[in-house]
């Protein structure tokens, strides 16, 4: 089959050469047996300008490209022209496909090419095809020409093969395993082999660095370098560089970068000089997503005041002067220098006495971001301090802690305290008269020590128990004295009491009749007189009913009764007789009764002797 077609081709060629001066119209195919994935080229060539050019319909094929052919050869001083068309075809189905004949009209005559049958087999791994040499002893020059053509076509086929394999978009990450806040770098680059090229490049999707703090490093110009990838040499172009700081621990994903490239490829057509034509097509490349493992910073031994600094640093606090006058400014610089997450760390704030006025700091950042170290440089906060009063003040030491990546441990730097001596007070405003006492006091100098000491003025006598003895003893004395006084009073009253008791007893015995009559004048005095008589009769044991004054006085004298008592007795007796005719009130009766009672008592005592 193959041979048969070759013969056709051969015959066509042969006849064309043989009928040299005549009009020729021929069809050529690059291969009569192709795989489904391969392409063939069909050429229709004539050696003069024909008209009414008709092409077959190429059923079962897809026409990829139509190329005009316009070649001029000079052979043995003869100028030969060839014109026609070449079709790049791709088979659509397997099996034997036939390319129909093309026709052209020349000087009223119609020329036709032979139909060509092409065998389409399974898709094949393409290998370089050796073109069959034709053994034509008469056309050696043609042979050379054909060979040259075939060589070029072969080269071109290989190139087509390589197209698309020559470009790679790669993301390079400095570290896959980092601590949170540890800087890492990412670089997106395009590897282009020497066999390929592109015209334009558009970035379709930039990576979004989620959960990362990022800073992209600006490139001044795009530079093409030479680099190797998988053992092959490529041209290399950096697209984007960035410094990343992971803000979260865990496994973090970096989105891929996508780039749309208008790349060059060989169309399969050859130009006049047999050089393959280059076409353009758009293709999208992706760098692929990358994952990074972020370890959290260790929690144990984390120093107090750790503010998230990771890297390796030095920390300094400087004052531009330490001896100054009040109201003179002083600059205090707090500086961190080193490698690490400089942009993200916070510097400690100095603590100063309130006599030093502290103003908001000026922030000076000199941080460079590069691929070798991530971030590097110095970060400074410059505070302006204005002392208000004279004196010596201390600015407390500052501490700065960071996590050291190299030793994987926390480190703390503590600075020295800074002593500021303010030598002069500010001038007092003269136009203002301050009356505030506190203000005047504050302008005075610090007072020296006090030499006048009064020892133990804090020992309170009330804290001592003996004080209470001294204080309460007199109070105890008071009840004692009362008691003593009371006791003596009691003794005095004792004798009188007995007498009173006896009087009452006697009065009850003899004067009860009279007592019941108190208030009724006549009855009372009659009873009183009778009672007195009864008493005497009872005490002196006399039986006589005659009780004259004389007999009574005589009797009483006999018994040695005191003359005053006898007089009193007589007085009562007279009162009793007088009372029958005179006005008497209750008070007088009472008095007389008591007088009588006392008298009886007194006489009784004397009679007993």
Partner 1 sequence: MKNYWILFWTLLFCGLATAQNNEALFSEGMTAFDKKDYETSANIFSQLMQRDSLNATLHYNLGTSYLRLQNTGLSIYHLQKALKFRPDYEQARINLNFAEKLKTTVSKGNLPIPQQQMLYSVFDFLKPNTWAYLALGTMFTGIGLLLFYLFNHNATTKKILFSIGMFAIGISILSYFISKNQSNYLLEHHYVIVTQKETLLMHEPRVISKVLQNITEGSKGLIKEETNQWIRIQLENDTIGWVEKSKVMKY
Q: Which of 300, 450, 496, 546 binds partner 1 (CB under 8 A)?
A: 450
Contact predicate 113/25, CB 8 Å: yes
Q: Which of 151, 248, 485, 505 binds partner 1 (CB under 8 A)?
A: 485
Contact predicate 426/397, CB 8 Å: no
Residue 299 within binding range of partner 1, rule CB under 8 A: no
Residue 489 within binding range of partner 1, rule CB under 8 A: no
Residue 74 within binding range of partner 1, rule CB under 8 A: no
| DSSP output for 394-463 | EEPP-EEEEEETTTTEEEEEEPPPEEEEE-SPPPPPSS-----HHHHHHHSPPP-------TTTT--GGG
Alpha-carbon distance of 97 to 99, in angstroms, equals 7
Contacts of residue 556, defined as CB under 8 A and 6 or more positions apart, other chains included, come to 565, 566, 569, 603
Q: Which of 7, 280, 307, 351 binds partner 1 (CB under 8 A)?
A: 351
Pick between residue 273 and residue 460 the one whose CB is nearest to partner 1: 460
Q: Which of 139-147, 190-198, 438-446, 584-592 is the region at the interface with partner 1 (rule: CB under 8 A)?
A: 438-446
497 burial via Cβ count (<10 Å: 0-12, 13-18, 19+):
exposed
Pick between residue 431 and residue 459 the one whose CB is nearest to partner 1: 459
Taking CB under 8 A as the rule, which mask of x and - marks residues 200-219 in contact with partner 1?
Answer: --------------------
Alpha-carbon distance of 310 to 401, in angstroms, equals 9
Alpha-carbon distance of 538 to 603, in angstroms, equals 13
Q: Which of 432, 481, 492, 609 binds partner 1 (CB under 8 A)?
A: 481
3-state helix, strand, coil in the chain (%, to 5): 30, 35, 35
Pick between residue 74 and residue 428 the one whose CB is nearest to partner 1: 428
Question: Shortest approach of partner 1 to residue 247 CB, angstroms?
Answer: 27
Q: Which of 441, 492, 493, 543 binds partner 1 (CB under 8 A)?
A: 441
Contact predicate 226/235, CB 8 Å: yes
Contacts of residue 86, defined as CB under 8 A and 6 or more positions apart, other chains included, come to 41, 42, 43, 44, 66, 67, 69, 269
Residue 428 within binding range of partner 1, rule CB under 8 A: no
Strand 33-35 vs strand 116-121: parallel, antiparallel, or unpaired? parallel
Residue 359 within binding range of partner 1, rule CB under 8 A: no
Q: Which of 279, 308, 348, 353 binds partner 1 (CB under 8 A)?
A: 353
Residue 141 within binding range of partner 1, rule CB under 8 A: no
Q: Which of 109, 435, 448, 548 binds partner 1 (CB under 8 A)?
A: 448
Q: Which of 155, 365, 394, 606 binds partner 1 (CB under 8 A)?
A: 394
* Count of residues of this chain found to bind partner 1 when the rule CB under 8 A is applied: 46
Contact predicate 331/383, CB 8 Å: yes
Question: Shortest approach of partner 1 to residue 238 CB, angstroms?
Answer: 50
Q: Which of 94, 391, 539, 595 binds partner 1 (CB under 8 A)?
A: 391
Q: Which of 57-65, 114-122, 165-173, 473-481 is the region at the interface with partner 1 (rule: CB under 8 A)?
A: 473-481
Helix (H, G, I), strand (E, B) or coil at 161: helix
Residue 348 within binding range of partner 1, rule CB under 8 A: no
Q: Which of 442, 516, 520, 549 binds partner 1 (CB under 8 A)?
A: 442
Apex CA 79: angle with CA 74 and CA 84, to 5°? 95
Residue 543 within binding range of partner 1, rule CB under 8 A: no
Question: Shortest approach of partner 1 to residue 481 CB, angstroms?
Answer: 6
Q: Which of 456, 496, 558, 581 binds partner 1 (CB under 8 A)?
A: 456
Pick between residue 326 and residue 597 the one whose CB is nearest to partner 1: 326
Q: Which of 17-25, 171-179, 220-228, 479-487 is the region at the interface with partner 1 (rule: CB under 8 A)?
A: 479-487
Q: Which of 251, 457, 495, 587 binds partner 1 (CB under 8 A)?
A: 457
Residue 455 within binding range of partner 1, rule CB under 8 A: yes
DSSP conformational letter for 278: E
Residue 461 within binding range of partner 1, rule CB under 8 A: yes
Contacts of residue 600, defined as CB under 8 A and 6 or more positions apart, other chains included, come to 503, 506, 507, 510, 511, 532, 535
Residue 482 within binding range of partner 1, rule CB under 8 A: yes
Alpha-carbon distance of 571 to 585, in angstroms, equals 18
Pick between residue 454 and residue 543 the one whose CB is nearest to partner 1: 454
Residue 155 within binding range of partner 1, rule CB under 8 A: no
Which helix (DSSP H) or strand (DSSP E) does residue 488 occupy?
helix 465-510
Q: Which of 122-130, 235-243, 279-287, 452-460 is the region at the interface with partner 1 (rule: CB under 8 A)?
A: 452-460
Q: Which of 138, 414, 467, 562 binds partner 1 (CB under 8 A)?
A: 467
DSSP conformational letter for 133: P
Look at residues 301, 385, 297, 299 and name the one whose alpha carbon lies nearest to residue 345. Answer: 297
Alpha-carbon distance of 326 to 328, in angstroms, equals 5
Contact predicate 61/91, CB 8 Å: yes
Work out whether the CA dihedral 526, 529, 533, 538 comes out positive or negative: positive
Q: Which of 407, 478, 558, 583 binds partner 1 (CB under 8 A)?
A: 478
Question: Shortest approach of partner 1 to residue 475 CB, angstroms?
Answer: 7
CB atoms inside a 10 Å sphere around CB 513: 15
Question: Shortest approach of partner 1 to residue 450 CB, angstroms?
Answer: 5
Binding footprint of partner 1 on the chain (CB under 8 A): 351-355, 388-389, 391-394, 396, 438, 441-442, 444, 446-463, 466-467, 469-471, 474-475, 477-478, 481-482, 485
């Amino acid at each position: 089959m193959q041979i048969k077609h070759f013969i056709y081709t051969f015959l066509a060629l042969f006849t064309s050469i043989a009928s040299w001066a005549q009009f020729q119209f021929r069809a050529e195919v690059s291969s009569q047996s192709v795989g489904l994935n391969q392409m063939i080229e069909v050429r229709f060539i004539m050696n003069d300008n024909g008209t009414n050019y008709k092409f077959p319909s190429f059923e079962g094929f897809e026409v990829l490209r139509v190329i005009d052919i316009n070649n001029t050869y000079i052979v043995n001083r003869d100028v030969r022209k060839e014109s026609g068309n070449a079709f790049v075809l791709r088979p659509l189905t397997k099996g034997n496909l036939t390319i129909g004949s093309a026709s052209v009209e020349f000087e009223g005559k119609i020329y036709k090419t032979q139909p060509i049958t092409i065998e389409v087999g399974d898709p094949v791994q393409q290998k370089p095809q050796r073109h069959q040499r034709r053994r034509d002893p008469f056309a050696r020059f043609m042979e050379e020409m054909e060979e040259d053509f075939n060589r070029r076509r072969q080269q071109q086929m290989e190139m087509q093969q390589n197209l698309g394999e020559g470009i790679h978009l790669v993301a390079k990450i400095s570290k896959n395993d980092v601590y949170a806040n540890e800087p890492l770098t990412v670089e997106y680059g395009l590897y282009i082999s020497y066999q390929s090229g592109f015209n334009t490049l558009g970035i379709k999707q930039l990576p979004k660095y989620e959960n990362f703090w990022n800073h992209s490093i600006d490139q001044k110009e795009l530079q093409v370098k030479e680099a190797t990838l998988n053992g092959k040499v490529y041209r290399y172009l950096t697209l984007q560089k960035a410094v990343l700081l992971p803000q979260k621990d865990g496994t973090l994903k970096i989105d891929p970068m996508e780039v749309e490239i208008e790349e060059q490829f060989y169309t399969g057509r050859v130009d006049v000089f047999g050089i393959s034509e280059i076409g353009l097509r758009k293709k999208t490349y992706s760098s692929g997503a990358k994952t990074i493992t972020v370890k959290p910073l260790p929690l144990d031994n984390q120093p107090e005041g750790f503010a998230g600094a990771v890297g390796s640093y030095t920390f300094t606090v400087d004052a531009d002067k330490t001896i100054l006058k009040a109201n003179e400014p002083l600059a205090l610089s707090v500086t961190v220098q080193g490698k690490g997450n400089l942009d993200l760390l916070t510097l400690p704030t100095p603590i100063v006495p309130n006599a030093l006025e502290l103003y908001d700091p000026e922030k000076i950042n000199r941080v460079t971001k590069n691929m070798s170290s991530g971030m590097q440089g110095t970060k400074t906060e410059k505070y302006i301090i204005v002392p208000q009063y004279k004196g010596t003040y201390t600015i407390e030491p500052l501490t700065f802690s960071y996590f050291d990546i190299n030793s994987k441990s926390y480190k703390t730097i503590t600075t020295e305290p800074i002593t500021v001596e303010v030598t002069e007070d500010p001038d007092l405003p003269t136009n203002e008269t301050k009356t505030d006492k506190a203000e005047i006091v504050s302008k005075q100098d610090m007072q020296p020590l006090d030499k006048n000491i009064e020892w133990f003025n804090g020992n309170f006598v009330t804290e001592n128990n003996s004080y209470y003895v001294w204080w309460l003893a007199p109070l105890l004395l008071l009840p004692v004295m009362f008691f003593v006084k009371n006791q003596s009073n009691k003794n005095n009253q004792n004798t009188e009491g007995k007498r009173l008791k006896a009087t009452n007893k006697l009065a009850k015995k003899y004067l009860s009749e009279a007592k019941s009559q108190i208030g009724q004048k006549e009855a009372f005095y009659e009873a009183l007189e009778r009672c007195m008589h009864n008493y005497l009769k009872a005490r002196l044991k006399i039986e006589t009913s005659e009780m004259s004054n004389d007999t009574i006085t005589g009797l009483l004298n006999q018994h040695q009764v005191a003359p005053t008592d006898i007089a009193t007795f007589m007085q009562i007796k007279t009162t009793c007789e007088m009372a029958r005719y005179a006005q008497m009130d209750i008070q007088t009766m009472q008095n007389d009764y008591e007088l009588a009672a006392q008298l009886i008592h007194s006489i009784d005592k004397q009679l007993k002797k």
